[in-house]
Amino acid sequence: MKQLSSLLAERGQTHILQGFEELTLSEQNDFVKQIENIDWEMLELWKHPEDLSGKGRVEPIAGLSLSEIEAHRAEYFALGAEAIRGEKVACVLLAGGQGTRLGSDGPKGAYDIGVTHPLYIFEMQIKNLLDVCASCHAYVPLLIMTSDKNDAITREFLKQHDYFGYPASHIRFFEQDMAPSVSFTGKLYLEAWGRLALSPNGNGGWYSSMKRAGADRDFPHVEWYNVYGVDNVLQRSADPVFVGAVIASGMNSGAKVVRKTEPHEKVGVLCLEDKKPSVIEYYELTEEMANMRDGDGNLSYSFGVILNYLLSAKKLEEIAGERIPVHVVKKKIAHIDEYGAFIKPETENGYKFETLILDMVRLMDSCLPFEVEREREFAPIKNKEGVDSVETARILLQKNGVTL
Ligand code: UTP
């Protein structure tokens, strides 16, 4: 205990020991374990959050346009469908996020976007996946990443709804790892006396979390993981045409992308960085790069990523030990104050530490940008109102003929 106190004193974190004496022995032991697991080096990053890896030489990347995909559709479909029938493709649904911007308490996938009848995000995504299964005559393993914060409720919700018609035999859940969060001055937050305020450590940890949980164990033939976000209601996963195109390209990965509508659209774009695929954030593009056009008059940096990646299992295994950058993100962090009162802040009050799947793309060495029709495949729900909200997603769903 003395050792622990001096470690915390050295780090300026003794405040978390408040209330320690009143804890039961087992609570004390659990808390000590939490403290022992803290990655102090990562925590120090709050001091220079903008200092990420630094960019190398950035260039545009070549990708498949809608018309090129159309010209080879049948060939790509056949290749992709064959891989799906051979159990070589698995879906990984990233549903471990907290959706703080949306501000709903439950899992985002359980959010009801219907108007005249219930219509859940999970339901829409599974419906699209079932269409793929019907066209390929095979079920695709569906691995769902949750977090400690929403695991039980996500499982319960999907079970209650009979997995929206998806066979439970092909679904596996796994929990992602958690990381501590700190105030704007780097002080660890507690969610209760003797318990750190932990939060999911970003979607970049999906592979190690999946492996640790052994969620892939029952699907030994998988060669491709299609990893995608829960918050796109028009998400099309295990798309055989996409799978076929990536296989035909011989690359280690592929990314579904939409064309940017204007030079400054706030979306990460796929590019080459030191000859390797990389996702560069909109604010990292210089004015010149944002406006640069190719010979056909299209924006050179126009492939906006939509969090739908196809990644080679073999390559993932190869890069498993490599580190990816930690992002320090401003978020609203629920915590107890010094009197023990629980606070659910209305505005951002600290930093969380996350790794992001987009940083994995670089480690894959090669990536095929695969253009999709924005209005058919991209309806993200991030916010309560305005841009990328329930409202904008509903409009897009209606355009796609969905009765709300
Ligand atoms: P976001 O970056 O939008 O984060 O996640 P979020 O936590 O869901 O929402 P905000 O920022 O708090 O409002 C993009 C995708 O990555 C998943 C999310 O569930 C979503 O599908 N994700 C995010 C995880 O699975 N784990 C994480 O730790 C973070």
Residue nearest to atom 22 of ligand 1 (CA): 97
* Helix (H/G/I), strand (E/B), else coil: 363: helix
Q: Which atom of ligand 1 is nearest to the CA of 145?
A: 25
Per residue in 193-228, pLDDT (tens digit) is: 999 999 888 999 999 999 999 999 999 999 999 999
Q: What is the mean pLDDT of the chain?
A: 93
389 lines ligand 1 (CB under 6 A): no
Using one digit for the tens of pLDDT, what is the confidence trace for 127-160? 999 999 999 999 999 999 999 889 999 999 999 9
Distance 229 CA to ligand 1 centre (A): 8
Q: Which pLDDT belongs to residue 263?
A: 92
Does 231 sit in the ligand 1 pocket, CB within 6 Å?
yes
Position 384 confidence tier, pLDDT thresholds 50, 70, 90: confident
Whole-number pLDDT of residue 25? 94
Placement of tokens 């990562």 in the chain: 42
Between residues 266 and 225, which one has the greater pLDDT?
Answer: 225
Ligand 1 centroid – CA 260 distance (Å): 22
Domains in the chain: ranges and CATH? 38-399 (3.90.550.10)
- Which atom of ligand 1 is closest in space to residue 230's alpha carbon? 21
Write the pLDDT tens digit of every residue in 281-327: 888 888 999 999 998 888 999 999 999 999 999 999 999 988 888 88
pLDDT value at position 381?
95
Question: Is the beta carbon of 268 within 6 A of some atom in ligand 1?
Answer: no
Which residue CA neighbors atom 14 of ligand 1 most closely? 229
Judge whether residue 1 has pLDDT over 80: no
So what's the pLDDT on residue 50?
A: 53
> Of the candidates 216, 136, 204, 140, which has an alpha carbon nearest to the alpha carbon of residue 176?
204
CB of 99 within 6 A of ligand 1: the answer is yes
Handedness of CA 263, 268, 269, 271 (dihedral sign): positive
80 CB under 6 A from ligand 1? no
Cα dist. 135→78, 80, 138, 246, 372 in Å? Answer: 11, 11, 8, 19, 19
Cα–Cα distances (Å) from 294 to 25, 211, 255, 266, 340, in that order, read: 66, 42, 21, 20, 59
Q: Whose CA is nearest to atom 28 of ligand 1?
A: 202
Q: How far is CA 176 from the centre of its chain?
A: 11
Examine the pLDDT at 96 and tell me if it is beyond 80: yes
What pLDDT band is residue 54 in, cutting at 50, 70 and 90? low
- Is the pLDDT at 103 greater than 90? The verdict is no
pLDDT in tens, 229-251: 999 999 999 999 999 999 999 99
